[in-house]
Structure 1
Amino acid sequence: MRGGPVHPGAARILAEVLIPLAILLAVASAVFYAISAVLQEREASRESAAGLGLMARLLRRRLWWAAVGATLTGAALHVAALAAGPLVVVQPIGVSCLAIALVLGARVNRTAITPRSWAGVLCVALGLPAVLAAVPHHGPHGAPPPPGAGLGFWTVVGVLAALVAAAAAGGLLCGRRLPRGAAVCYAVGAALCFGVASATTKTLLVGHLGFGRIAVTAAAALIGTALAQHAYRGGGLGAPLAVLTLLDPLTAGAMGVLVLGEPFGTTPLTLALGLAGLVVTAVGVGLLSARRPAVAVPPPLDPLPVPAGSRG
């Protein structure tokens, strides 16, 4: 009979097939995201221009467009992984993108990964899954918008736009004096933009159409991409990618709760673990954004004195 319960044996066999498939898709998604980050950092770090000049130059680079393609591929694989398996399996695997990106970046740039960077990766890998566990992921698909959703949407978008502007201003103020601090500021702005783009895309998918929401989605994606390039240009791979991986889903989840009326669904224990994970992740971002110690170059040795009698 159609629509009846699935036989327990068939459900078990289906789970045995889909869970490995979800893991495989999640790993592939993490690899493509890592490739995209490495290519973006490689191309952006070669440019000295800023603002629209930086983007104009990057738009002429084939490898930068390859990074965009890798991002879209990674996103499609991530969605497919979520369709095949539970979020509790897929999301932690996505965190491995940071470690994969550092290894790939070290190979591409022929540099060594410092113990401080590995410690930062470990903190992010331990803390981020706990944070993401407290983020709402399921919403009322196709449900009518809650009362006041339109006003709430534009209010939240306005607040986030102000935060993005503040993050970009912080990056400009840090400038060349604190390039890694500026990179973190730009990454925060980019992550907020990507989170807005993800959340507004979800509102479009559940039927809340409108020119304003489409314009917000496009603008957030474009501004986020530009800010991410500035973050990679001055901060390398580690800290910007960690900030993006952390704040993007947090922003999207917050908008889901505030705008779409999604249930928070967090127990006190999960919330406590999420806060602890946030602290550990912040420590990891700090380790990844710390300036590398300069290698001391020994002074040149003084030439040995030549005996006077040996001079020609």
Structure 2
Amino acid sequence: MTVLAAAVALAGSLFFALGAAFQQFEAASGKPSMRALLRRPRWLLGGLAILAGGALHIVALGLGPLTVVQPMGVASLLFALPIAAALHGRRPARQELVAAAVVAIGLIGLVMLVPPHTGPTSFSPRDAVILLGVSGIAAVLLWAGSRVTGLAGRAALLATSSGVLYGATATLVRVLVDGGWNWWYALALPIPAFLALMMLQRAYAVGHFGVSFASLQIADPLTAVAFGALLLGEPLPSGILPILAAALAAGGTFALARTTPLERTH
């Protein structure tokens, strides 16, 4: 069952990478609006691939342990770069793949070092307001910062903004699934999810796919972990290893910013 879980999770990562590459290819074509993207078959196909990848990841978690499934999920970064490069008519540089591998190793370390949580998964309406407020303010600040930096920095900050909003969305989903259904939380759920999607397409439109995808991969789980500690009382990892893992992930992302070429399709 563990081998099957790893295989299913790996397939999910491939679907997620394929979907991200398709959506970036379309978003980089003249910076179209969300309305225009929703009319593009390849962008919609990318969305379906991402949904399929998420579904396979959930199935994998039901088949095997987190320590096996989660590293397979991070592999989407290594799949996405070659797929995106092929769509743009080039081969991925060796430096890109090495930097992506460094990001993946650091991110796997961070995720695996988070201690398990066995307490209740629920919070109050006040906590929900804090969740949406903090994530919204952080997303706006990151968006503002993206307007005064270079192209690679813009891609990274916009994707990080998206990752923060997706992390907030994931926290709401966890509370709804594990802590009991709440209509107010369910109604609030589409707000950060839609804003995250918009921010991510803006990041993709910049053209530095490796930077934006790596930033998203890092910001999303770290935000979910931070909100879990802040609002759900979940433990945080301690010691030197999480710091080293974070440094690896950050260093790999900076390397991607220097090695991944600007890709736009006109």
After TM superposition, is the score higher than 0.5? yes
Provide the identity percentage.
30
Q: Which residue of structure 1 aligns with residue 131 of structure 2?
A: 156
Q: CA deviation at 1:291?
A: 6.1
1:29-72 Cα offsets, whole Å, 9 max, x none, are: 110011011101110011234xxxx2111011011111111111
Q: Which residue of structure 2 aligns with residue 309 of structure 1?
A: none
- Which of 22, 32, 41 pairs up with 2:5? 22
Structure 1 residues 293, 85: CA separation in 2 closer, same or farther (over 3 Å shift)? Answer: closer
Query: Cα RMSD between the aligned structures?
Result: 2.1
Aligned partner of residue 256 in structure 1, secondary structure: helix
The aligned amino acid for 1:237 is F
Q: CA deviation at 1:118?
A: 2.1
The aligned amino acid for 2:229 is V
Q: Which residue of structure 1 aligns with residue 253 of structure 2?
A: 285
Q: Which residue of structure 2 aligns with residue 123 of structure 1?
A: 102
Unmatched segments (≥5 aa) in structure 1: 1-17, 295-312
- Which of 48, 67, 72 pairs up with 1:69? 48
Q: Which residue of structure 2 aligns with residue 55 of structure 1?
A: 34
- Aligned residues of 2:210 and 2:260 also touching (Cα < 8 A): no
Aligned partner of residue 111 in structure 1, secondary structure: coil
In the aligned structure 2, how far is the partner of 1:19 from the partner of 1:126?
21
Residue 60 of structure 2 corresponds to residue 92 of structure 1: no
TM-score by length of 1: 0.78
- Aligned residues of 2:128 and 2:185 also touching (Cα < 8 A): no
In the aligned structure 1, how far is the partner of 2:240 from the partner of 2:136?
29
1:11-39 Cα offsets, whole Å, 9 max, x none, are: xxxxxxx1011011111111001101110
Residue 58 of structure 2 corresponds to residue 79 of structure 1: yes
**Number of aligned residue pairs:** 262
- Which of 191, 202, 227 pairs up with 1:255? 227
Alignment of 1:227-266 (within 5 A): 227-262=199-234, 264=235, 266=237
Residue 186 of structure 2 corresponds to residue 214 of structure 1: yes
The aligned amino acid for 2:13 is A
Structure 1 residues 225, 139: CA separation in 2 closer, same or farther (over 3 Å shift)? Answer: farther
Alignment of 1:105-144 (within 5 A): 105-136=84-115, 138-140=117-119, 143=120
Residue 102 of structure 2 corresponds to residue 102 of structure 1: no
Aligned partner of residue 76 in structure 1, secondary structure: helix
Structure 1 residues 292, 248: CA separation in 2 closer, same or farther (over 3 Å shift)? Answer: closer
Q: Which residue of structure 2 aligns with residue 7 of structure 1?
A: none
- Which of 136, 145, 149 pairs up with 1:170? 145
In the aligned structure 1, how far is the partner of 2:157 from the partner of 2:96?
19
TM-score by length of 2: 0.91
Unmatched segments (≥5 aa) in structure 2: none
In the aligned structure 1, how far is the partner of 2:10 from the partner of 2:261?
33
Q: CA deviation at 1:124?
A: 0.9
- Aligned residues of 2:169 and 2:193 also touching (Cα < 8 A): yes
Q: CA deviation at 1:159?
A: 1.6
Q: Which structure has the greater CA radius of gyration?
A: 1
In the aligned structure 2, how far is the partner of 1:21 from the partner of 1:108?
30
